[in-house]
Amino acid sequence: MRALRTLLIIVVILGGLFIGVDRIAVHVAENKAADRIRSSEGLSASPDVDIKGFPFLTQLLGKKLDQVDVTLKGVEAKAQGRKVTITRVRAELHDVRISGSFSSAVAARATGTAHISYADLTKASETGAKVAYGDNGKVKVTGSVHILGRKVSRSVISSVTLAGKNRIRVHADTVPGEGIPGLEGLVRKQTDFESAIGGLPAGLELDQVRATPDGVDVGVTGTDVSLTG
């Protein structure tokens, strides 16, 4: 009985040591991965990296992680050739293949959301139209038009949708004074626009879009998503 008790104590101690070493290893790996992602994506701040699954060390030996959750902040994207900051990108990555030094990491599949503020969506408008929340999942777009030599401000309630691969479309549901010849075209020229969004991590694509009170949430999805450029 004494020998069995001693054996059980040793097993408990070794188990505790293994858990401790495993948690230290995953913490070090998360920090290393965050540094690599920050460098490869040119981020202003280190991303949050959360490696799921236990034990981590066996996943590391197999060079494949079950799941990694990543939150990127301040991603510099391109919209019609202009820089636009995507406030936040959250991604859930599965079956992530890694190198031993984390110099490369590729997820077999990924889903997530990207958040774009209205200030940055306004920057994506070539006409300088101001974009704000318009309630009920719509946006309010305000632009200036010239009518009979006068500069007049007009606001419309618009829908935000996807328009092809990695493109966002803002289109007015109705336009004030639609019955006046030529007026609708003038207003839409200032308030309707499409913008291609580039600069997301390789392999991620826009999947859906939804207007919220503090910005636009865009669903992203992808396969063979590279985390380290």
pLDDT tens digits, residue range 40-70? 777 777 888 888 888 888 888 888 888 889 8
* Token output for 49: 């990296």
pLDDT tens digits, one per residue of 171-182: 888 887 666 667
Which one is predicted more confidently, 133 or 128? Answer: 133
Residue 213: is its pLDDT beyond 90?
yes
Flag whether pLDDT at 218 surpasses 60.
Answer: yes
33 falls in which pLDDT band (50, 70, 90)?
confident
- What local confidence, expressed as pLDDT, does residue 132 receive? 92
Report which of residues 15 and 56 the model is more confident about: 56
Model confidence, pTM: 0.72
pLDDT band at 12 (very low <50, low <70, confident <90, very high): very low
Is residue 204 a contact partner of residue 175, using CB atoms and an 8 Å limit?
no
